Structure 1
C-alpha cells in the first residue's frame, strides 16, 4: 500500500524473476493470463508465497487479469467478439459460461481477484457497455455463488 492508502498491484506475465521481485518488495501480485489454461500459472502463485516468506514480506492476495467478453447468449458473444478476438478466446460467452470459466480459474489458481479485459479491440461501444453490465450484474454474482457453494 502506498503512503496515500492506494494498493498497487504488480502485473506479471509469466517470468519467475518478476514473481520473486514482486514478493521481495512486498507488493500484491497480478498475473496476466491472456490465453490457455489459467492453472498453468499455479506454480507462480506458490512461488510468490514461498518468496515472500523467504524475504520476510507479506504474501498478499494474488489476482489474475484476463481477457473475456460477456453477451446475452453464447452465440451472440461469439458473433460479436470472436472475429475481433480469435487468439484470446477463453472467457467469452453468456454470463453463465463466463462465470463457470472465471470460477474454475479462480479455484485453480487460488487467487483472490479476477480482472477481466472486456473492452479491447474494435468492439462497438454498445456491445462493450452491455458486456460491462452483464459482467457486473450477472457473471460476477454467479461467480460468488459458485465459489461460496
Structure 2
C-alpha cells in the first residue's frame, strides 16, 4: 500500500495577530472548504476535520463540513479528526458517515477517539468519570453496527440495546474506522486486539515517544490473529511546510504559540511555548512537522523507520495561521513532499521483500 499524506484542521476562530479580529464562522467554513479543494487538486490523500464544541472553533459537526467538501472534490478521502465517540451516539455517528460515504462515492472514514478536549461530555449529559468506559462501550457498539445489518447489540451502561435494528443508510463498502491514540499503552493494545488502524496524536515531545505503544499495538494485533496489513499506523502532528527551514519556523511559531495559549484544552488558559522550545521540537528529534521540503521529507522518513507509518496527517493553521500561508503549505505538501515520500517508502518496501 502506498504512503498517504493529508491535512487536518480544527477550524479555529482565532483573532488575527495584527488586526485582533477573529474571522466569522462563515468565513472559516469557506476557508476550510478551500483548503480541502486545494488538497485534492495537489494530490493529497486525506483531509480531516476535528470536532470541537466551543465558540472558538467552527467544526462541531465535521460530517457536515466534509459533506460540503465532498461536493467540491474528486479523490481525496474525508475523515473526522477525531470524532469524540464517548459523547456521541454510535448509531448516529454511523448514519452520518455512511451518508457522507454515499455523497463522496466511497471516500468517507472515521477517526474515533476519547477526545483530549472535554467540553462535549457535560454538554451532552455525560460524566467525565466515565470517560474511558464510554469510549470502550461505544466503540464496540459502532463496530457491531458496521459489521452487520440488521444488528443486534446487547447494550450496556451507556448504549441502548438493539434487537435486529435496521440502521441505514449503508456505506458503499466497509466504512474505515481508525482509532486515535494519545500514546497510552492500554489504548494501543486494545486497538491492536480489535485489528483497527491506529492514528497516533503527537502534540509535543520526542519523535520516538510512541515506540513502545506501536510495538505493543502490533504484538496485540498479531496475538489476536490480525494481519499486519490491517495494522496500519498514522502519525498526526502539528506542522507547516515552508520554502526554507527558518522561514517555515518563523511563519508557524507566532500562530502556534497563540493556539497553544488561547485554543488549547482550557480556553485562554493553555500554556506558553517559548521560541527555543518550539525550535527544539522542529529539529529531527522533535515531534513537530515544520521546516523546508527536505526537512519534512527527512522527518517523515524517520517516523516511517521508527513506527512503520503508512500515513501522516499535518494539523495546519493552529492559532489562526492566515489562509494564504495555510494554502501555500498544503500545496508544498502535495507537490513537493508527497511524491518523494511515496517513492522512497515504496522503494524501501520493495527492498525488504
The corresponding residue for 1:121 is 319
The CA distance in 2 between the partners of 1:36 and 1:102, in whole Å, is 16
1:76 aligns to what? Answer: 247
1:134 & 1:24 partners in 2: Cα distance?
A: 37
Q: Which moved more, 1:124-133 or 1:139-148?
A: 139-148
Q: Give the TM-score normalised by structure 2.
A: 0.39
Is 1:131 the counterpart of 2:329? The answer is yes
Contact 1:10 1:22 in 2 (8 A): yes
Match of 1:143 in 2: 341
In 2, the alpha carbon distance for the partners of 1:15 and 1:93 equals: 28
Task: From the two aligned structures, give the one with the greater helix fraction.
Answer: 1
1:108 lines up with 2:290 in the alignment: no
Q: After TM superposition, list the pairs within 5 Å mapping 1:32-47 onto structure 2.
A: 32-47=201-216
Q: CA deviation at 1:66?
A: 1.2
CA distances 1:5-27 after superposition (whole Å, capped 9, x unpaired): 22111000011111122123221
CA RMSD across the alignment: 2.1
- Flag structure 1 segments of 5+ consecutive residues without an equivalent: none
Aligned to 2:38: none
Contact 1:100 1:143 in 2 (8 A): no
Per-residue CA shift, 1:89-140, capped at 9, x if unaligned?
A: 4321111111111111111111111111123221000000111000111012
How much has 1:145 moved relative to structure 2? 3.7
Residue in structure 1 matched with residue 223 of structure 2 by the alignment:
54
Higher relative contact order (CA 8 A, sep 6+): 1
For residues 303 and 206 of structure 2, the distance between their equivalents in structure 1, rounded to whole angstroms, comes to 8
Q: Which runs of 5+ in 2 are unaligned?
A: 1-142, 148-170, 257-272, 283-287, 349-353
Report the Cα distance in structure 1 between the residues aligned to 2:205 and 2:193, rounded to whole angstroms.
28
Count matched residues: 149
Under a length normalisation based on structure 1, what TM-score does the superposition of the two structures give? 0.87
Contact 2:255 2:317 in 1 (8 A): no
Deviation string 1:19-56 (CA, Å, 9 cap, x unpaired) is: 12212322111111122333221211110111122233
| Aligned 1:86-105 pairs, distance under 5 A | 86=273, 87=278, 89=282, 90-105=288-303
